[in-house]
Amino acid sequence: MTAAGGSGQQLARRVGRLIREVPDFPLPGVLFQDIMPLLADGPTLAAVVDHIVEVHRPAGFEVVAGIEARGFLLAAPVAYAADCGVVAIRKAGKLPGPSVSASYDLEYGAAVMELQRADLGPGQRVLLVDDVLATGGGTLAAALALLESAGAVIAGVAVLVELSEFAGRDRLPVNVEALLVV
């Protein structure tokens, strides 16, 4: 496991100890990365949020976008710590009002995500936050497409954990900052 910088490496080790791997969830053959024990540890959650803000603040983001569902749990406190707003990228049919949508493939199926058009202004700089980067062709790629179709500028992408065996970052058109790479 790795992370940038000395204190980042210490934080990555803390994060790695708290993430629980759950085999065969939600389907056989999938090794689920359960971040809930990390979220339940207040001091580590605070350190993760502070780290994400510190790493991405120089990019000048104005809003944080979180991907359903566990990305919400990281995006909201990051937005709060950075004194900016948060927008939701949700599963289809969960948002009122006009939205843009994108379909994508998961490691274990397919889905559609949506973003409300009114949530972002043209040219607004967005930090996209999610919990896990696996293949890169699924949720993150769809979220990036949604944000760009809404006229946003991607200021950065932050994930808690990157599963390097899937080489997901190689499929994305932007740099991804992962706190923990396994």
> Computed from CA positions of residues 34, 162, 155, 95, in that sequence, does the dihedral angle turn out positive or negative?
negative
177: annotated active-site residue: no
The domain locations on the chain are 6-181
Range in 65-79, 91-105, 168-182 with the lowest mean pLDDT: 91-105
Share of the chain above pLDDT 70, in %: 95
pLDDT digits (tens, 9 = 90+) for 34-66: 999 999 999 999 999 999 999 999 999 999 999
With CA atoms as reference, report the closest residue to 65 among 106, 2, 116: 116
Calculate the average pLDDT of the chain.
92
Can you give the pLDDT at residue 6? 53
What is the SS3 assignment for 3?
A: coil
Q: Where are the alpha helices (DSSP H) in the chain?
A: 6-18, 36-39, 42-56, 70-81, 139-149
Can you give the pLDDT at residue 108? 64
* 86 has pLDDT over 90: yes
pLDDT digits (tens, 9 = 90+) for 9-25: 999 999 999 999 999 99
pLDDT digits (tens, 9 = 90+) for 140-175: 999 999 999 999 999 999 999 999 999 999 999 999
More confident residue, 110 or 91: 91
Element (H, E) at 161: strand 153-162
Q: Which residues pair with 127 in a beta bridge?
A: 64, 156
70: annotated active-site residue: yes
pTM score, two decimals?
A: 0.92
Catalytic residue among 14, 107, 117, 171: 107
Distance, in Å, from the CA atom of 62 to the CA atom of 30, rounded to the nearest integer, reads 35
What CATH code is assigned to 6-181?
Answer: 3.40.50.2020
Q: Which tokens sit at 97?
A: 């009002």
